[in-house]
Amino acid sequence: MQWATIGLNGFHEDNAEMGMQRGIGRPILVAGAAAVLLLAGGCTRVRTHQGFLADNLIVSSVLPGVDNKASVEGSLGRPTFVSQFGPERWYYVSRDTRALAFASPRPTDQLLVTVQFDSAGNVASIDRNSSLDQVANISPVGDKTPTLGRKRSLLDEVFGNIGAVGAGGMGGATGPSGPGPNGG
């Protein structure tokens, strides 16, 4: 027994023709779902780590009065940065950040290890700070850095020295002349 239905145009359609229409729609549906999943992958959270890879066991092995600069560098590696003024301090900074798609990254965790040395190069103190209180969001103002002087166009820069007095190679004096140590 063969089933028949009445289509939108008023004619009878077979089940086989309807099956053909459904067969075409399924790959389109699968391709659309795959495209949505692929595009949604761009909206994932991005987690990054910057700086010093802190290991609590190694950091706690650095002891004041026992270690010196060479042993600290051997244990923790080269510092992230070194103090320029005051007592000599080495800073090791470790930061984890998180961002959603193209947004600016925000810090989620930070560790600052400060190793202070005495005048002999031995560790005087070690401090661990893991709070986000000292993280500052710096927003520069403006697109350009103000500079002193006059504003010159490209043509001024290229042709500005043509005809200038004393320009080299313009047929002026060939060497030192006149009274003086190098002149005649």
| CATH code (residue 99) | 3.30.1450
* Shared domain check, 65 and 31: no
Residue in the block written with tokens 């239905």: 5
92, 112 Cβ separation under 8 angstroms: yes
On whether the CB atoms of residues 45 and 100 are closer than 8 A, the answer is: yes
Q: How far apart are CA 121 and CA 80, in angstroms?
A: 18
Residues 121 and 57 in one domain: yes
Token representation of residue 75: 């244990």
Structure confidence at residue 176 (pLDDT): 59
- In this structure, the number of other CB atoms found within 10 A of the CB of residue 113 comes to 21
- Asked if residue 49 is part of any domain, the answer here is yes
Instruction: Decide if 56 is inside a domain.
Output: yes
Query: What confidence score (pLDDT) does residue 80 get?
Result: 92
Question: 51 and 63, same structural domain?
Answer: yes
Is residue 119 domain-resident?
Answer: yes
Q: What is the tally of structural domains in the chain? A: 2
Q: What is the pLDDT of residue 13?
A: 53
- In-domain check, residue 136: no
Residue 59 lies in a domain: yes
Kind of pairing, strands 4-6 and 12-14? Answer: antiparallel
Bridge partners of 45, per DSSP, are 100
The SS3 assignment for 182 reads coil
Q: Are residues 50 and 116 in the same domain?
A: yes
| Same-domain pairing of 78 and 109 | yes
- Buried (b) or exposed (e) across 3-30, using 16+ Cβ within 10 A? eeeeeeeeeeeeeeeeeeeeeeeeeeee
Residue 173: per-residue pLDDT: 54
- What kind and span of H or E run contains 71? helix 69-76
- The pTM of this model reads 0.54
The amino acid sitting at 134 is Q
What pLDDT sits at residue 107? 86
Position 20 in a domain: yes
* Tokens 């939108």 found at: 8
Low-confidence ranges of the chain (pLDDT < 70): 1-23, 42, 142, 166-184
Q: Of the candidates 59, 123, 116, which has an alpha carbon nearest to the alpha carbon of residue 83?
A: 116
Domain membership flag for residue 124: yes
Asked if residue 120 belongs to a domain, the reply is yes
pLDDT confidence of residue 118: 92
Give the domain range for residue 61: 45-129
